[in-house]
Every structure is written in C-alpha cells, then in structure tokens.
Copies of this chain bind each other. A is one copy, B any other.
C-alpha cells in the first residue's frame, strides 16, 4: 500500500528529515524533531504526491487516502487523549501547507480546526476558559471562511467582512480591543460570521469536523496554484511540479493566559550571523499574531525572566537542532501553560552577511568542513556583503527610526503601493516602497523596490523575512510613521513626505533619512576574507573584471580581480576635452583629417592606459577597441547640434546633415565594432599605438604589463585577419621606436552567432576568444535588450522563459553556440585562451557554465568579482561531486 500519510508524535515518526521532496520541508523536519525526542505536538503529513495526484486528477485523491488520514488522526487522539469531534475533550488540529522549498506566507493555513457549536463547549470546559474557547472558535470560522470557503476573496484589497463584523461588535460594545469582548460577545460574532458565509457563498459553514478537515486539506493543496504562489516560485526558481504537503497537527495554545506564549527563534542572528539564539515572542498569543506583525513582540531574552524553565529548554532545543542539522535553524514554538512545544524548524533565511559569517563560523567550530561552508554561501547573496554604507560625515537629516530588518542602504523615491513600485521601477526609477505592513500580495512590488519601509511589524514580520530573503534593504516597525496611502503621503510629526520625494534607508541602523545620502563602499569583514581564501583554493576559473577607469580597476583588484577582461575605450572618447576631436574625426572628409583629429586624442588615451596598467601591475589587461557606432558621439537635438556646430566652427546644416547621414535603423546591427576599423583603419591604429606606447612607458616605470588587445564584432574571419595585421604592425613599430619588447595578445570578442559558427576560422587569427554574451544573446534571440521590456517580463512571468536570458546565460540557445565556438576554436588551436566579458560573467549559473565548458576566465563588474570567485569555486566543487 502506498504511503500517503506519514505520522509523527510521542518520539516516533514514519518519516525522516531527508524526505523533503515527499513530506515538504515542514513535515520532514517535524518527523526529524519528533524522532530526536524534541517536544512536538503529534500529527501527520499528507505527501506532496497526493497534491500532485489531485492536481492531475481534477482534485480527486488516491483511493487509500481517506483510510490513512483517519488512521493517523486516531493515532493523534491516542497520544493526546483528546477526540476529534469529541464533545468533552475535543481534539483541535492545525492544517498547514509545507512545500519542499520554503515559501513563507505564500500558502494557506487553518488553525483550531475541529471546533463547532458542540466541541466549543468541551474546549470551554476542559480549559476552564469560555472566552478563550469562543475566541478560538471565531478565529477558526473566520480563517476557514476566508481560506477554505473564499469569503471576501472578491474584495481583496478592502477590509474583510470578518474584520468588519468584529469591528462592529467592538463599536456596539464600546470597547477598543478584541480582548475586551466577552465569551457571549464572541459567540454572537461566530453566528454573524456564519451568516456572512451563508449569505456570500450560499453554503453553510460545515459543523462536521471531518468535513472541516477535508475542506482544509483541499484548500491547502489548491493554494499551491494561486497566482501569488506561482509568482513567488517564478522569482525564486522553484518548480511548479513539486507540489505541497499538508501537515495536520494537534493544536497547542499560546493564548491560554500569561503562562502561555508563542514565538519564533533563530539559532543565530539572521541579520549579522552572530552566535546566540535570536528571536521574539508574544505572551498570550497564537502564532499568526507574530508573523502578521500586528502586535510588536518582545525579544526572546525577555522570556528568561518570565518563564525561565521554558527559556532554558528553548536554548537546549536550539543547540540540539543546530548541531543536528548543522545549519542555522529558524523555529516556531508555543508555550502552553509553561510547556514548550516546537511547531516547526527549518533552515533559517539570512542576509548575505549572516550567510558568510555563519558558514565560516561553523567551519571554524568544526561543525562543517570548508568546502561545505563554500557550498553554504549563495553567490548571488554575496553582493549584499559588499553593500555600500552611508557616509556618516555627510548624513542627511534623520526623519525617524525603525527596526533594522535587512541591512544595506537604499535611496529612492517614495511610493505607497506595490503596483506603483513596479511601474516606477520599470521606467527606471529607484523607489522606496512604504507600507503600513506588507502582505504576500506585495511581493512583486517589494522585488521592484530598492528598499522597504513599514510602520508596523517586527524583525520576523512579513516585510522583514521577505526583504532579507531578497537581500534588500528594509526597515520595519517605524512606529512614528503615519502612512496615508490614499493621499499619497506619509507624516512623521510635522514633516510630510509626498509620493515621489526621496528618502534614504539605512537598513543597518534602522534610520530613515530625508533626501539623498552619499554612500561609501563596503569594507570586507574577516569572515568574508576567510571564505574567499577557501574559495580561491578550490576554484579553477580565473576571475577578471570589466573596468574602464583606474578607479574601477583599483576597486576590482581589492575584490580579488586577477586582471581586466574588458576595458571599454569609448568613455575615453566621450570626455569633454576629447569629444570635440572625436567629432572632428567623425566629420572629417579625408583620412588625413581623421588622422589629425585622432593624433590629438592619442596622448590622452595613452595616459588613460598607462594609469590602468599601473593599477593592474603584473595582471593582464584586455582592451576592447572602439565599438559603438560613430553617431553615438554626435549631438542629436537641434539645440545640441547648434551648440556643437558653433564649437567646431561648422555650419549647423552641415552638421545636421552628417548626423542624419549616420543615423541607423538598427544601431545594434549597424556600422560598429571592427566594421568601423575596416572603413577607417586609422581609428584602431591610433588606439593600438596608444596602448603600445603606454605599455612601453609602464615598463620603463618598472610595471609589469600584459596587454591583450580585443577586436569587437567580428563576423567573418577575414575581418579579424585584416584588422589584426594592422594592429600588430602598429604595436611592433611602436615597440621598436620605444626600444622595448613586451609580450601581448590580439584576440577577438565573440558576440555574433556567425562568429560562433565559424569559430575555427576565426581562431586562426585570434590569440583569445572573449564571449560578449550581451550582444550574443541579443542577436541569437533577435531581441534588443533596450526594447525587450515591453514583453520579456511577461515571458518570464508565464514561464515561456525560465529566466531572463540577459541575466542568466541561456544555456540551451546561446550556450549551444558558445560551446560550438569553443570546440571549433580549440579544435584548431588547443591552447586558445577563452573568457567571457558579458554581464553574465558575474552571475553564478553562468559562471558555472563557463567552468563546465573549460573557459580560462570570467570577467565581471568590480562588485561582482567576489560573487564570480565564489561561483567558480562552487562550480568546481559540483564538478568534483559529479566526477565521483
């Protein structure tokens, strides 16, 4: 018989902690904790297989499920001594989702299930607290009505009818708080809820506990496929095919008086990674109150004074769990009349900084090995460690302070709804999303925002958990802030901040600042350096940087860059004192005139290269020769044309005509890259001369120079052959004149599909290939990155593309062409040096691709260098693992 149901309780469990795929994360860990002898309320898990069976069979279940659920429920009764539907000692259960991958807050939960007009009396009797019993009952009916029966679903953004009824009752009774309502009041609220359900859904609230249970199970399964759950999975690359498990577990109550509590705890600080239990709790409350952030909870240390035995037990459990799972745990607990119960444990989400510190600390504690530590750090999260921070000496005016929920700094314009955040971000604005509190509906707006600010909620509120997961700066519970979303403003005391005004968030201190702060770069922690040391021992791929200026080169070298993989030269043409000569060059009607203009730029370019060579002493520097179409250097508006014409001393009509003649329908596919050099060889000749001459000067200064000259946009081997020959001639002439000998390479950027297809021919004229994956992706897809925003997000949303191919290299399409080029290129030149210099060079999955395909190096922006180093090491480890 297939096992659809896995039981746990009283120290025994059918399942194990490694059965995450089958039992979900929560179910597997409940089983594991039970088996470890940790106090867990008994219950059972319905497998993800059942979820997927139901999804594929119009909601029908496997034949044996009913029998197995009933058997498991009987076992829970046996352990607790309570009966499901029993009028005297009713067993109440929670029904929760539990997917193989964590999706906090994304799916549905029903608590206190099993209550009806009869069992509520039993609960009142057995607890001796009728008010508590009716409070449980009204919570259950509201939750069931909402989650299972869909009441109020149509009016998603308005107040729920259940809240409205409760508020009316409080108004009737002239009270402010729920706790001031009597058992009788709550009983009448329950009745009003049931009327509302019947009115809206035309179905009665089910009094039969068994019917309640099956309803809740179905609702949890269904919640796997809600749009918001799908969107979340898309964002975190979680497969829709996993399905969720359902956990049915005996209820314990944190709201049975002042000797009861509920809380969450992390075995280490999820924000900094510091050792020591970290968490918070609410006295006399149910778990949903903590997560929802409606009451601001107390730090877990306060428990020591209030319930020392329970606190000590909590610390012991934390230590056992961490040692057992060998990772920082995020756990939910409830104290029912002094007794500690664990409701959940899972790998704790953490900031990038905490990720690094915890991994390194645990390795140094001997809990895990160094290689495991490397695998514990997600390269994409590493960039958070390098977040810039706010320059304290020029700190803008403080507006208010909240809880520092997720570190880093964010500067942006204030918006008040998730959809505004998305819209503004899409048109390129940095925004700060300000909400009273966030809800799962806000996920996409949070993702679009640079930072998040809430006026309510604690360090484990929805906003805080999600923002940390995203590595996004976040401040929560800024209680002074009055959010007035309808009027598009927030108010702190006398200060009014309008929608569109700029705020700076300091996620490390919790400070909210008025206006724009200036930022200073991050400083690396000791743990970071330790980790990077381990990383460098493991990786095979070299990591270079894309840097156009000496400052970038310096930053990147500090981050461990082992050379420059892409030094673009166009910026050298754009600088104010040079652009005039560049324009003269473009407008020249003879080679001579062009050469004269270029000669004027030469000394400045040579100085640029010299400074970069100095910064990169001893490391290779790949210089890409001029790439953009020439019209990019010309003015376009008529005012600019008039100004430039007067500056150059030409007639505006003539300049306008030249601008118009150079205009291109598709500049991306136009007269650029080496095509320019084919038309105007003197451009690359001047650049080659500047490089060679700077190299000679650097060598005289004692600097070790390793220049690599890169020719862009080659489609045909003959282009490279012709252009390379001229470059080599010029470099050799210059070296001869300067009386130096310096080894150098001349290679090409592979960024067109045709170049991949004829990689063997091109390799004959190239010392190296560097894949320009930005343009290669554009041409392979026939997709202009500038124009893709109108539909590409929709493609990812709908799963037509798994990921944005401009972010993560498309292995199936672009990757296949790259593989072809590598095979063909190395086929004729075994030692051909191969790298990547598109933005993918700093993205982890793309770095892994480069490792697998035998690249020599990746090159990425300075701040991504550590990310790439780590990704390279992880790729090497995965390679070793596969090889075994």
Which residues from chain A sit less than 8 Å from chain B, CB to CB?
A: 664-671, 675, 678-679, 713, 715-716, 718-719, 722, 751-754, 757-758, 761, 775, 778-784, 786-787, 790-791, 794-795, 798-801, 810, 812-814, 816-817
Of B713, B716, B779, the contact of A779 (CB 8 Å cutoff): B779
Q: A664 CA to B675 CA in the complex, in Å?
A: 23
Residues of B within 8 A of A798 (CB): 678, 722
| Contact yes or no, A666 B787, CB < 8 A | yes
Write the nearest CB–CB distance from A517 to chain B, whole angstroms: 33
Of B671, B719, B754, the contact of A800 (CB 8 Å cutoff): B719
Closest residue on chain B to residue A715 by CB atoms: B781
Residues of B within 8 A of A779 (CB): 669, 753, 779-780, 782
| Contact yes or no, B670 A784, CB < 8 A | yes
Question: Which 9 pairs show the lowest CB-CB distances between chains A and B?
Answer: A669-B784, A753-B753, A666-B784, A754-B813, A665-B786, A670-B787, A752-B782, A664-B787, A718-B800
Copies of this chain assembled into the complex? 2
Q: A474 CA to B666 CA in the complex, in Å?
A: 38
Q: A786 CA to B669 CA in the complex, in Å?
A: 9
| Contact yes or no, B795 A678, CB < 8 A | yes
Write the nearest CB–CB distance from A136 to chain B, whole angstroms: 46
Residues of B within 8 A of A795 (CB): 678, 716
Q: A779 CA to B756 CA in the complex, in Å?
A: 13
| Contact yes or no, A781 B801, CB < 8 A | no
Of B751, B754, B794, the contact of A780 (CB 8 Å cutoff): B754
Closest residue on chain B to residue A666 by CB atoms: B784
Residues of B within 8 A of A761 (CB): 812
| Contact yes or no, A817 B753, CB < 8 A | yes
Closest residue on chain B to residue A752 by CB atoms: B782
Residues of B within 8 A of A666 (CB): 666-669, 784, 786-787
Residues of B within 8 A of A678 (CB): 791, 794-795, 798, 800
Residues of B within 8 A of A783 (CB): 669, 715
Write the nearest CB–CB distance from A725 to chain B, whole angstroms: 13
Most chain B CB within a 10 A radius of its CB, from A775, A795, A814: A795
Apart from A665-B786, A758-B816: 9 A-B pairs, beta carbons within 8 A: A665-B787, A668-B669, A670-B787, A715-B813, A716-B813, A752-B782, A754-B810, A754-B813, A757-B817
A-B contact pairs, 21 of them (CB 8 A): A665-B668, A665-B786, A666-B668, A667-B787, A668-B669, A669-B781, A669-B784, A678-B794, A678-B795, A678-B798, A716-B800, A716-B801, A718-B800, A752-B781, A752-B782, A754-B810, A757-B780, A757-B816, A757-B817, A779-B779, A779-B782
Residues of B within 8 A of A801 (CB): 716, 718
Residues of B within 8 A of A754 (CB): 780-782, 810, 813-814
| Contact yes or no, A790 B758, CB < 8 A | no
Q: A757-B812, A800-B678, A800-B722 are in contact. Are A669 and B715 (CB under 8 A)?
A: no
| Contact yes or no, B667 A665, CB < 8 A | yes
Q: A664 CA to B784 CA in the complex, in Å?
A: 9
Residues of B within 8 A of A716 (CB): 795, 800-801, 813
| Contact yes or no, B671 A799, CB < 8 A | no
Write the nearest CB–CB distance from A662 to chain B, whole angstroms: 8
Residues of B within 8 A of A791 (CB): 671, 675, 678-679
Q: A795 CA to B718 CA in the complex, in Å?
A: 10
Q: A757-B812, A757-B813, A801-B716 are in contact. Are A671 and B790 (CB under 8 A)?
A: yes
Most chain B CB within a 10 A radius of its CB, from A719, A752, A782, A800: A782
| Contact yes or no, B813 A669, CB < 8 A | no
Q: A813 CA to B824 CA in the complex, in Å?
A: 13
Residues of B within 8 A of A790 (CB): 671, 679
Write the nearest CB–CB distance from A777 to chain B, whole angstroms: 9
| Contact yes or no, A669 B782, CB < 8 A | yes
Residues of B within 8 A of A782 (CB): 668-669, 713, 715, 751-754, 775, 779
Residues of B within 8 A of A781 (CB): 669, 715, 752, 754
Q: A754-B814, A779-B779 are in contact. Are A665 and B794 (CB under 8 A)?
A: no
Write the nearest CB–CB distance from A815 to chain B, whole angstroms: 9
Closest residue on chain B to residue A810 by CB atoms: B754
Residues of B within 8 A of A786 (CB): 664-666
